[in-house]
Structure 1
Amino acid sequence: MSGSDSPAARLQTLFEGHRLTPTQRRIAHSMVRRAAEVPFLSSVELAELAGVSQPSVTRFAVALGFDGYPALRRHLREVVPSAEPAPRAAGHNEYQQAVVAEIENLRHLAEALADPAPVREAGRTLAAGRPLVVLGLRAAAAQAHGFAYFAAKVHPDVRLLNEGGTMLHDRIDAAVRAGASALLCFALPRHPREVLDALAHAREAGLTVVTVADSAFAPVAKVSDLLLPAAVGTGLAFDTACAPMLLGRVLLEAMCDDLPDAQARLEEFDARAAARGLFVE
């Protein structure tokens, strides 16, 4: 996605066009996730954040074309001037701060959606899939389940893969044999190795992989054909995923736009639900 002038988007622009090692991609991923803090971190602090060695951070800066990390940090302070963390608002406790941070993530998502082309492309790809495979494991299982629940109301055949194990590849193969052409993956930290293996297998089997992830530099980027980033909140003990969830709903809308009978299917479902008394009004 483009169209955003947020600190995270500016960082992503800085990294584009560089061939980064897996360790360097991990550093880039960590920087994007904590874009507001990065221009003010030392190399040691960034190394601790990314879980790598301090020399790895130095080599990363050199790979981007800088003399070393201090030069990279000076550059970041120039090109990401809005990234300085705002002081804690008076009277806001840690729970409120987590909400404020999520609001900021949603604002960045809104800016990214100023260019709707990637989402529209993803919507067309998902609408054409018969069946449509939706994958999400561990932290992302809830996002995948929510998307599949609503998608099944408008799409003729949705197959949810939200449990790992030795049968995961088998289920992907079965979907391919049934005619599947696309797989939608929700990938959130911490990223299970099993997801990367499953996406690599899906691409080898001929599926187009569309991924919603927390960063354009998430580990799943290398095994995705189209990656749509939406940041997660990191202020609480467990990450919060309001932006990825909303991006999933936006994808649903884009998919509906390319399903000519989507509205008819919704009306049919509503009629059946009313006849069965499914919902309390």
Structure 2
Amino acid sequence: MSGTSGAGARGGTDGGDSPAARLQALFEGHRLTPTQRRIAHSMVRRASDVPFLSSVELAELAGVSQPSVTRFAVALGFDGYPALRRHLREVAPAEPVADTGAVNEYQQAVAAEIENLRHLAEVLADPGPVREAGRLLAGSRPLPVLGLRAAAAQAHGFAYFAAKVHPDVRLLGEGGTMLHDRIDAAVRAGADTLLCFALPRHPREVVEALAHAKEAGLTVVTVADSAFAPVAKVSDLLLPAAVGTGLAFDTACAPMLLGRVLLEAMCDDLPDAQARLEEFDAKAVARGLFVD
């Protein structure tokens, strides 16, 4: 495994020509503060617009102060934000996003999610990280799946479908003092990999649980909203999928789809996956589980 953020945080080789992928490459190798990671995440989400934004506009977009944007540019090795913006215009030329006209906030939220899915498709142009994750998940017996608060639904959905093909899936969907105990129990039972879904706002408990999992010897595969999420430092392989932030509550279409892609990759490494699905279908028919 490689470092803390893993191959998945770098996007795909064929997707490297996109403005978002170029920004990701620019940020790699730098130790960024939480505030700077927030700026980086905002820049990736608005990759086509960033070369045309002032430092004040970028600060408003990221919800930080203008001096924070200046310090961020310096942390990347530039004299200041104007030098960073000139660099972005040279290496990632792009036109500002066209005015969408009179659209309401709901349509804007949908459009933003479509853009998140396009970015995910660019990342998946290199299937290597997902295939590696699928191999790790398929080989872990049992397979603990962690997701708390905003990410609980993603973890639950993955665990529900994974249990149809994987012999032993253990959902860790509740926090508390027993979370570390359940991780330890999975290790004692033979687990060697833990899958985590981590979405904002990121609970401190999840970061601590992943640190404990790594100390216990587990390889941590994480689906997170950004390669700069707080869980990156405690993940062996991080697969990014952005969330939408245009509504009162975040939307997570891309993380959900990435979870289904991981299921597919895991099935590819489970030789009896198809037989298990057929067995389930036969039992479902016999029991009359479904009306369709």
- Say whether the 8 Å CA contact 1:35–1:83 is kept in structure 2: no
Deviation at 1:254, TM superposition (A): 0.3
- Which structure would you say has the larger RCO, counting Cα contacts within 8 Å and 6 or more residues apart? 2
Whether contact under 8 Å (1:184, 1:211) holds in the other structure is yes
Residue of 87, 97, 106 corresponding to 1:75: 87
Cα distance change of structure 1 residues 56 and 101 upon mapping to structure 2, 3 Å threshold: closer
Q: Which residue of 1 aligns with 2:276?
A: 265
For residues 173 and 95 of structure 2, what CA distance do their matches in structure 1 show? 36
Change (3 A) 1:146 1:171: same
Q: Distance in 2 between matches of 1:52 and 1:193?
A: 21
1:83 is displaced (CA, Å) by 6.3
Q: Equivalents in 2 of 1:6, 1:199: separation in Å? A: 31
Aligned partner letter, 2:131: R
2:262 to 251, 268, 271: 251
* 1:195 alignment partner AA: V
CA distance in 2 between counterparts of 1:22 and 1:194 reads 17
Structure 2 gaps of 5+ residues are: 1-10
TM-score where L is the length of structure 2: 0.90
Q: Percent identity?
A: 88
Q: Show structure 1 runs of 4+ deviating over 4 A.
A: none
Q: What is the aligned partner in structure 2 of residue 24 from structure 1?
A: 36
Aligned partner of 1:122 in structure 2 is 133
Tell me the SS of whatever aligns to 2:153: helix
1:193, CA displacement in angstroms?
A: 1.2
For 1:230, which of 232, 241, 245 is the aligned residue? 241
Deviation of residue 91 (structure 1)?
4.9
Give how far 1:105 is off: 1.3
1:183-233: per-residue Cα shift (whole Å, max 9, x none)?
111111111111111111111111100011111111111110001111111
Show structure 1 runs of 5+ residues with no match: none
**What is aligned with 2:286?**
275
Deviation at 1:93, TM superposition (A): 2.3
Paired position in structure 1 for 2:8: none
Of 70, 75, 78, the match for 1:63: 75
Equivalent residue letter for 1:243: A
The whole-number CA distance in structure 2 between the counterparts of 1:192 and 1:48 is 24
Tell me how large the CA RMSD over aligned residues is.
1.7
**Could you tell me how far 1:180 is from its partner in structure 2?**
0.7
Instruction: Give the 3-state SS of the residue equivalent to 2:94 in structure 1.
Output: helix
Give deviations 1:89-146, integer Å, cap 9, x for gaps. x453221221122112111211211111000000000000100011111111111110
SS at 1:35 equivalent: coil
Question: 1:147 & 1:60 partners in 2: Cα distance?
Answer: 36
Q: Which secondary structure does the structure 1 equivalent of 2:214 belong to?
A: helix
Change (3 A) 1:167 1:260: same
Q: Is the 8 A contact 1:61 1:68 kept in 2?
A: yes
Partner of 1:2: 12
8 A contact 1:26–1:219 mirrored in 2: no
Q: Does the residue aligned with 1:227 lie in a helix, a strand or coil? A: strand
Q: Deviations over 1:154-180 (max 9, x none)?
A: 000001111111111111111111111
Q: In the aligned structure 2, how far is the partner of 1:167 from the partner of 1:51?
A: 35
**C-alpha separation in 2, matches of 1:83 and 1:119:** 31
Report the TM-score when normalising by structure 1. Answer: 0.93
Which one of 44, 47, 55 corresponds to residue 35 of structure 1? 47
Any idea what SS the aligned residue of 1:210 has? strand
* Structure 1 residues 234 and 78: alpha-carbon distance in aligned structure 2, compared to 1, 3 A threshold: farther
Cα 1:105/1:26, change in 2 over 3 Å: closer
